[in-house]
């Protein structure tokens, strides 16, 4: 039961953080981004735990891959399958099906620097 509570709190932290980043960046967010953010944060916690001995830059690149993959899956579900049209990167260079793009993958890598530090502190 404790593990479920811990993961729920981490999910909420990630969801709130992702939503806040969206509000600061785009001026709005969507409930689906809270779910995506929660899932990303749980994945990043596990990634950073398993890669604790790797250089920070490498962990951040790996974190960007994780976030980009989760963003792609979320985009395919929320934007394409459900037609919610939460975001569309089709006008960005180097996009894939309008769901992910190189620009945001790069930004995720930079965002992973402070997130990795937060994950370390939360793990104790």
| Prediction pTM value | 0.94
Phi, psi (rounded to 5 degrees) for 42: -60, -45
pLDDT at 124: 76
The domains of the chain are located at 2-123
Show Cβ contacts of residue 44 under 8 Å, excluding neighbours closer than 6 positions: 14, 63, 66, 67, 112, 115, 116, 119
Q: What is the pLDDT of residue 9?
A: 95
Q: Which residues contact 94 (CB under 8 A, 6 or more apart)?
A: 101, 102, 103
Q: What is the pLDDT of residue 2?
A: 85
pLDDT of 23-53, one tens digit each?
Answer: 999 999 999 999 999 999 999 999 999 999 9
**Positions of the chain with pLDDT under 70:** none
Q: Are 44 and 38 in contact (CB under 8 A)?
A: no
- Please name the residues in contact with 13: beta carbons below 8 A apart, sequence gap of 6 or more: 41, 122
For the chain, the average pLDDT equals 96
């Amino acid at each position: 039961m404790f593990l479920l509570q811990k993961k729920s709190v981490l999910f909420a932290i990630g969801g709130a953080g992702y939503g806040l980043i969206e509000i600061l960046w785009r001026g709005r967010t969507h409930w689906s981004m809270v779910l995506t953010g929660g899932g990303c944060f749980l994945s990043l916690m596990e990634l950073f735990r398993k890669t604790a001995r790797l250089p920070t830059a490498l962990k951040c690149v790996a974190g960007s891959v994780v976030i980009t993959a989760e963003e792609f899956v979320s985009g395919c579900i929320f934007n394409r399958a459900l037609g919610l049209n939460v975001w569309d990167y089709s006008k960005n260079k180097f996009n894939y099906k309008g769901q992910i793009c190189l620009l945001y993958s790069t930004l995720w890598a930079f965002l992973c620097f402070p997130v990795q530090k937060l994950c370390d502190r939360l793990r104790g």
